[in-house]
Amino acid sequence: MRWMVVAAAFLAAAAGARAETCDRQVFEHCQACHALAKDAGQKPGPQLAGVIGRPVAGDPAFDYSPVLQEARALNFAATLVDTKANPAWRPAIAAYARTVTQREWQTMSDGAEDPEARRILDDLHRMVIDGWSGQTVSLRTALSTALQEVEVARQNRLMAAVDFIPEEVWLSVMLSALAVLIFSAMLLAHVPNTARVTATLLGVVIGIMWFSVLAVDRPFVGKISVSNAPLAKLMIQR
């Protein structure tokens, strides 16, 4: 019986050591952008020291995207209000998040602000102004501040979505690159290997330009986009 206990302890220790090794191996892909220690300095991504229990987008030293800032302010506003005191508060926040992610997200890069999302946000402001039983002055102030942060982040998000280079400019650049590619291939036609290498390099450049059109120029549309996951999580508020 004793040998079974010893064997079980040995296996548990080995499993723990292996899990720790695996965890470190997994984090190797993350440490280029994130730090685990507070004294490790600021990296491109948010600090992960103390991330458990920290609010959404809660690293004060990191400049978060407008989407995360909007989600952080909405989440903070949701947690301030007791559902028994105001049962309509959290469902309204969930409705706003749902409208933004499912409707406004698809149209805002064309400069269109969804009127339903605007109406729900106005209703949230109105609820705070009208008040409810048990609402204190400090709570009203905190909610007003949070909603103002939502407004600022929302406007920044909408501005980022329409901040793109005109299509005429992109078209002229692409046509110029294509002309250079064809001209280079024709010029070096008598040197097949050189022509092939030149065409390949220019093709890569054109591909990078097209990627820029998708990933940078229209940041909230298409498969390559800024994630709406922070706002989508608020859709389940009750």
User: With a threshold of 0.75, does the pTM exceed it?
Assistant: no
Residue 24 CB-half CA count within 13 A: 6
DSSP state of 46: P
Helices (H), 28-88: 66-80
| Domain coverage including residue 97 | 66-164+223-236
Whether 139 is covered by a domain: the verdict is yes
CB neighbour burial string for 43-69, b if at least 16 within 10 angstroms, e if fewer: eeebbbeeeeeeebbbbeeeebbbbbb
Q: Would you say 71 and 230 are in contact if contact means Cβ atoms under 8 Å apart?
A: yes
Instruction: Give the total number of structural domains in the chain.
Output: 3
For residue 106, the model assigns a pLDDT of 83
Residues (pLDDT < 70) of the chain are 1-29, 31-33, 36-45, 47-63, 164-167, 169-170, 188-189, 195, 212-219, 221-225, 237-238
**151 and 173, same domain (yes or no):** no
For residue 40, the model assigns a pLDDT of 65
For residue 12, the model assigns a pLDDT of 47
Whether 61 is covered by a domain: the verdict is no
For residue 85, the model assigns a pLDDT of 92
For residue 148, the model assigns a pLDDT of 96
**11 and 90, same domain (yes or no):** no
Tokens of 116: 């339903």
In 3D, which of 48, 46, 55, 53 has the Cα closest to residue 76?
55
For residue 161, the model assigns a pLDDT of 81
Whether 51 is covered by a domain: the verdict is no
Whether 102 is covered by a domain: the verdict is yes
